[in-house]
């Protein structure tokens, strides 16, 4: 009996003229695979021909997974090139197909951000032109554009990037996305999430839902239920100056328009519009009577709930209001210094 597998997927590939894989579409990826099905798919990886797919269909059917069996049968009758990725453990991806499976698993809600190892993913994914005819190798783009023009057509190039937009691969149930190009494959969108036109969600980031996103959720950032990100606001990720600190937003929080966040927030926190809080921001902490208790770096307030960050309209200093007494605040602050 094989051990539990981290993930498995059968995918349709696009490739360049030299046979290198540009992208993989996994229609029904699997997360943790256990029991008889784990034995059925163990070791199934790489490019599969018609015979391989028929064998997989029979094994999947014997293991009781009719959906995988039906997909295998359907792919075996197609001229499309098919690849399998079998993730025996949660380790860094080693191929384009592994990387795409992990990104699909995130957007299919099979794992949450930070729930799968994406180390080295940038080095694996090719930078390609994403067009209305699918991904095209950049070295082949000019010829394809000329060929289209000679036929009286225009090849539409939507972007040139390593990551495609999520909606060309999966649309999670119960979400609204006003501008699909602003949500990358590998984003995690919980049910009830609305992403407005200026909202952006990177890979390995997302929302638990429900919530409203009108700002930017950077790579690595997870936003809790009921939280809203106002227009133009920003969250610092591990790729945008956040360092090793994992930035997150708790439940029922509000980040105001054009505000920013560089520390983890607890639940029911608010950052006023236009205020950017980084780990080193000096913050005057006010108790429930609005009396100053201490001035500290924002990093020491990380993860705490029921905080309101604002600027003092007279001095311009950053203040944090809480619902705790001075004694409670002192104990809390110095317990973490």
Find all residues with CB under 8 Å of 232, minimum gap 6, and list them: 198, 214, 215, 257, 258
Measure the CA–CA gap between 284 and 282, rounded to whole angstroms: 7
N- to C-terminal Cα distance for the chain? 50
Tokens of 54: 């028929």
Structural contact between residues 155 and 133, judged by C-beta atoms closer than 8 angstroms: yes
Structural contact between residues 185 and 165, judged by C-beta atoms closer than 8 angstroms: yes
133 CB-contact burial (10 Å; exposed 0-12 / middle 13-18 / buried 19+): middle
Measure the CA–CA gap between 26 and 9, rounded to whole angstroms: 6
What is the three-state SS of 196-249?
Answer: CCCCEECCCEEECCCEEECCEECCCCEECCCCEECCCCEECCCCCCCCCCCCEE
Measure the CA–CA gap between 104 and 27, rounded to whole angstroms: 9
Determine how many CB atoms are found less than 10 A away from the CB of residue 254: 20
Measure the CA–CA gap between 39 and 117, rounded to whole angstroms: 23
CA atoms within 13 A on the CB side of 4: 5
* Region for residue 93 given its phi and psi (left: phi exceeds 0; alpha: psi -120 to 50; beta: otherwise): beta
Which residues are marked as active site? 214
Measure the CA–CA gap between 14 and 25, rounded to whole angstroms: 9
């Amino acid at each position: 009996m094989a051990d539990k597998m981290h993930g498995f997927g059968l995918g349709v590939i696009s490739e360049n003229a030299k046979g290198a894989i540009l992208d993989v579409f996994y229609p029904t990826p699997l997360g943790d695979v256990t029991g008889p099905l784990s034995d059925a798919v163990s070791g199934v990886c790489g490019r599969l021909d018609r015979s391989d797919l028929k064998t997989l269909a029979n094994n999947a059917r014997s293991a009781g997974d009719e959906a995988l069996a039906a997909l295998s049968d359907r792919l075996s009758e197609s001229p499309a090139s098919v690849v399998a990725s079998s993730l025996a453990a949660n380790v860094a991806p080693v191929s384009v197909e592994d990387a795409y499976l992990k990104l699909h698993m995130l957007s299919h809600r099979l794992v949450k951000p930070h729930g799968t190892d994406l180390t080295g993913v940038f080095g694996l994914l090719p930078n390609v032109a994403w067009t209305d005819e699918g991904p095209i190798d950049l070295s082949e783009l000019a010829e394809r554009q000329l060929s289209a023009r000679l036929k009286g057509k225009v090849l539409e190039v939507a972007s040139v990037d390593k990551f495609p937009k999520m909606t060309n691969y999966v649309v999670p149930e119960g979400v609204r996305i006003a501008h699909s190009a602003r949500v990358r494959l590998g984003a995690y969108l919980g049910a009830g999430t609305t992403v407005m036109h200026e909202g952006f969600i990177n890979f390995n980031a997302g929302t638990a839902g429900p919530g409203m996103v009108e700002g930017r959720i950077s790579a690595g950032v997870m936003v809790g239920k009921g939280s809203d990100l106002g227009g133009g606001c920003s969250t610092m990720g591990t790729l945008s100056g956040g360092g090793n600190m994992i930035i997150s937003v708790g439940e029922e929080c509000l980040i105001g328009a054009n505000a920013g966040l560089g520390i983890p927030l607890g639940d029911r926190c608010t950052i006023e519009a236009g205020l950017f809080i980084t780990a080193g921001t000096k913050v005057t902490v006010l108790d429930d009577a609005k009396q100053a208790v201490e001035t500290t770096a924002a990093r020491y307030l990380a993860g705490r709930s029921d905080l309101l960050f604002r600027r003092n309209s007279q001095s311009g200093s950053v203040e944090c209001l809480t619902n705790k007494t001075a004694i409670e605040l002192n104990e809390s602050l110095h317990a973490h210094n």
